[in-house]
A and B are shown apart, each in its own frame.
Chain A
Amino acid sequence: NAGVTQTPKFQVLKTGQSMTLQCAQDMNHEYMSWYRQDPGMGLRLIHYSVGAGITDQGEVPNGYNVSRSTTEDFPLRLLSAAPSQTSVYFCASSYRGDRVGYTFGSGTRLTVV
């Protein structure tokens, strides 16, 4: 069982470039989310999905797009990277009604220069 797999682990982008952060889970979890972690800010929810074809915005959605075409995959797209998007991004998944919360991936460290 691989759990939640995020790729790439590290990425450097130039301002204005676009890219997709990949997230895949093999636990057949219905719920998936993207968080960003910034120093002194904790983890903030970007977008989430409660099932294939269903997504919604979290606390800090601007500048990011998501889609959920399959249960397994939940990619996060940066449309036009900005230095303010320099952060560590975590993908997480959970069963519906799971009482132990989300399982997190190991993160993608993104630097926008």
Chain B
Amino acid sequence: DQQVKQNSPSLSVQEGRISILNCDYTNSMFDYFLWYKKYPAEGPTFLISISSIKDKNEDGRFTVFLNKSAKHLSLHIVPSQPGDSAVYFCAATSRGGGSNYKLTFGKGTLLTVNP
């Protein structure tokens, strides 16, 4: 039973355009969501996060939107750059009771930004 779903295995966009990566979750207990970026032969690196009390969080070119009623979040990258080409993982956790030590990951989306 996959609790965090990234239904698009890959996405290709042109440099300078917007990249939109999507993520759906099924567990209503999840209250904190994170995006990680992973280059080949490296570990994932934290990109941006959002708490369930917010519906938007921005950090430079990266914005995460959360729609709790739809159990859906998306990562927007504007403008996209070739260096953004990587696998992006959506992750979720339940922080109620301090249980933020367990992250549940989606399968990832390979983003390719073409020059």
Contact = CB atoms under 8 A, between A and B. Distances in A.
Interface of A: 4, 31, 33, 35, 40-45, 48, 50, 58, 90, 92, 94, 96-107
Interface size classification for chain B: 20 to 34
A45 B103 CA distance: 8
Contacts of B46: 100-103
Given A41-B107, A42-B89, A104 B98 contact: no
B49 A101 contact: yes
Nearest to A95: B100
B22 to A, nearest CB: 15
Contacts of B104: 45
B101 A31 contact: yes
B62 interface: no
Contacts, number: 66
Interface of B: 4, 6, 9, 32, 34, 36, 41-46, 49, 51, 89, 91, 98, 100-108
B43 A4 contact: yes
B103 A40 contact: no
Given A90-B44, A104-B44, A45 B102 contact: yes
A111 to B, nearest CB: 15
Contacts of A97: 98, 100
A107 B43 contact: yes
Given A4-B43, A101-B46, A48 B102 contact: yes
